[in-house]
């Protein structure tokens, strides 16, 4: 894990938030390569679960919402963790993360258990009073539920149908830890899929299979993925059934994403609190009812971490150590690296011309610094599947060397065939 986090900072994937001021716990900034990877992951999810389906409607709801949304869902009263505070060093700890009554930091005595609400509270407007109170949303789901009626009125969908959203959520974690896994600011990809009460089991199973299929498509190692059926006592108050998809992280087997049957809890609560009718009218059966909900919920950052852990490999090549990031080609930050063998004799200009042409259709990176061997290693470390080398022969016969990341096999390809060659390598993305 330490080797991976060091590489991710060194190569521009992920940085500590506010680092020059000593950082801020539980916050992380994505660098140029990290944001490319994360965006490709989100685009793949959106394509699979929204664009390739005729009955899913995408939205982007506001982070700030009327405080009554969170009163209705129970977050204001119940979205909390039990914690204890050390009487000596004043540090706070979640109860489930410590043993006994002695502080693990300074051996001081721990106080009584108290509930700590994890929502970030803020004020809207110029006057600070109870009427101006709002919260940074702790989940993206409620932005979907409060827009349920808007989608019904605008699109008149037939049930089953879904609403999807990708967006930021915020939780004031007591002890953020394990790099990207438990942070105070994070991103979610969620679908709320509305079904008839009698069809939830069939739809639940369909979503379970679709989740696994998509995880495989972005390169997750399924041998490290485990389905945990959440027991009744551990179920969230709104859920009748939940599967936690857990992943074998270096710090233990932890939840990667969840699939929950939320019944009609959320829509019923919002209908009661707002006074707005949120029933669905089934014209075929002439029936009014509150739909039930299947919710697949993905944590973007947790999935990014899992994919990076899967991809990281160290190997011996001719007596030298090589670090290679074997990311799936569908989510790599850089698709093609373009490397002139030397800066002189027109090779740089030749290579830059190739960059100009290929970058219209592919994410390319131009690099002319250091020896060609070191540049290959740099591209291996960031997961670039293909590297083009321009050399003296290129200037004579208009061919270049194309090197493949995983096998390190090199082949000569005419420059005018590069576009077609890479279209074939990445055709699965279209």
Q: Which long-range contacts (CB under 8 A, 24 or more apart) does 209-217 make?
A: 210/48, 210/49, 210/296, 211/245, 211/257, 211/259, 211/296, 214/44, 214/45, 214/48, 214/49, 215/245, 217/44, 217/48, 217/328, 217/330
173 among annotated binding-site residues: yes
Cα–Cα distances in Å, from 285 out to 159, 162, 196, 281?
12, 20, 12, 9
Are the beta carbons of 140 and 190 closer than 8 angstroms?
yes
234 among annotated binding-site residues: no
301 among annotated binding-site residues: yes
299 among annotated binding-site residues: yes
322 among annotated binding-site residues: no
Residue (of 350, 326, 355) closest to 422 by Cα position: 355
172 among annotated binding-site residues: yes
368 among annotated binding-site residues: no
393 among annotated binding-site residues: no
192 among annotated binding-site residues: no
403 among annotated binding-site residues: no
298 among annotated binding-site residues: yes
Gyration radius of the chain's alpha carbons: 25
Q: Is 159 left (phi over 0), alpha (psi -120 to 50) or beta?
A: beta
198 among annotated binding-site residues: no
289 among annotated binding-site residues: no
Beta strands in 31-170 (DSSP E): 56-58, 64-66, 80-85, 92-94, 114-117, 120-123, 133-136, 161-170
181 among annotated binding-site residues: yes
Q: CA 197 to CA 45: how far, in whole Å?
A: 27
Could you say which DSSP state residue 86 is in? B
Q: CA 217 to CA 210: how far, in whole Å?
A: 11
Q: CA 22 to CA 116: how far, in whole Å?
A: 25
Could you tell me which residues come within 8 angstroms of residue 235 by beta carbon, excluding any fewer than 6 positions away? 241, 242
189 among annotated binding-site residues: yes
Residue (of 146, 169, 159) closest to 273 by Cα position: 146
How many helices, marked H, and strands, marked E, lie in the chain? Answer: 13, 24
Q: CA 327 to CA 377: how far, in whole Å?
A: 15
183 among annotated binding-site residues: yes
216 among annotated binding-site residues: no
CB burial readout 105-120, b (16+ within 10 A) else e: eeebebeeeeebbbbe
300 among annotated binding-site residues: yes
Q: In what order do the strands lie in the sheet with 386-390?
A: 364-366, 336-340, 386-390, 399-404, 410-414
273 among annotated binding-site residues: no
The annotated binding site for ATP is made up of 171-173, 181-186, 255-256, 299-302
From the annotation, which residues make up the binding site for substrate?
94, 139, 186-190, 295-299
Binding-site residues:
94, 139, 171-173, 181-190, 255-256, 295-302
């Amino acid at each position: 894990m330490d080797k991976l986090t060091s590489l991710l900072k060194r190569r521009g994937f992920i940085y500590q938030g506010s680092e020059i001021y000593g950082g801020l716990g539980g916050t992380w900034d994505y660098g140029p390569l990290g944001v490319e990877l994360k965006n490709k992951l989100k685009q793949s999810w959106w394509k699979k679960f929204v664009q390739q389906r005729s009955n899913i409607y995408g939205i982007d709801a506001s982070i700030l919402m009327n405080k009554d949304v969170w009163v209705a869902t129970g977050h204001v009263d119940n979205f909390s963790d039990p914690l204890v505070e050390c009487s000596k060093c004043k540090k706070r700890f979640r109860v489930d993360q410590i043993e006994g009554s002695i502080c693990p930091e300074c051996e001081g005595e721990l106080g009584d258990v108290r509930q700590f609400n994890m929502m970030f509270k803020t004020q809207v407007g110029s006057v600070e009073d109870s009427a101006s109170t709002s919260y940074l949303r702790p989940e993206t789901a409620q932005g979907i539920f409060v827009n349920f009626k808007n989608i019904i009125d605008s699109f008149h969908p037939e049930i089953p149908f879904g609403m999807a959203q990708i967006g930021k959520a915020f939780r004031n974690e007591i002890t953020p830890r394990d790099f990207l896994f438990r942070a105070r600011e994070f991103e979610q990809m969620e679908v709320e899929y509305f079904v008839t009460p009698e069809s939830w089991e069939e739809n639940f199973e369909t979503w379970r299979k679709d989740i696994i299929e998509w995880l495989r498509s972005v390169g997750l190692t399924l041998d490290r993925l485990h389905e945990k059926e959440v027991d009744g006592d551990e179920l969230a108050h709104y859920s009748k059934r939940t599967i936690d998809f857990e992943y074998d992280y270096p710090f233990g087997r932890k939840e990667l994403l969840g699939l929950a049957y939320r019944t009609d809890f959320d829509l019923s609560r919002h209908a009661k609190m707002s006074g707005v009718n949120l029933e669905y009218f089934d014209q075929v059966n002439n029936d009014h009812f509150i739909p039930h909900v299947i919710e697949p919920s993905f944590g973007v950052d947790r999935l990014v971490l899992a994919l990076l852990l899967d991809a990281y490999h160290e190997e011996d090549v001719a007596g030298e150590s090589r670090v290679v990031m074997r990311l799936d080609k569908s989510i790599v930050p850089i698709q093609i690296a373009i490397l002139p063998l030397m800066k002189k004799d027109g090779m740089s200009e030749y290579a830059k011309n190739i960059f100009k042409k290929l970058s219209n259709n592919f994410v390319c990176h131009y690099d002319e610094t250091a020896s060609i061997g070191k540049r290959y290693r740099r591209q291996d470390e960031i997961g670039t599947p293909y590297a083009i080398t321009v050399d003296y022969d290129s200037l004579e016969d208009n061919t270049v060397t194309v090197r493949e990341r995983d096998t390190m096999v090199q082949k000569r390809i005419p420059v005018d065939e590069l576009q077609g060659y890479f279209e074939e390598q990445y055709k699965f993305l279209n």
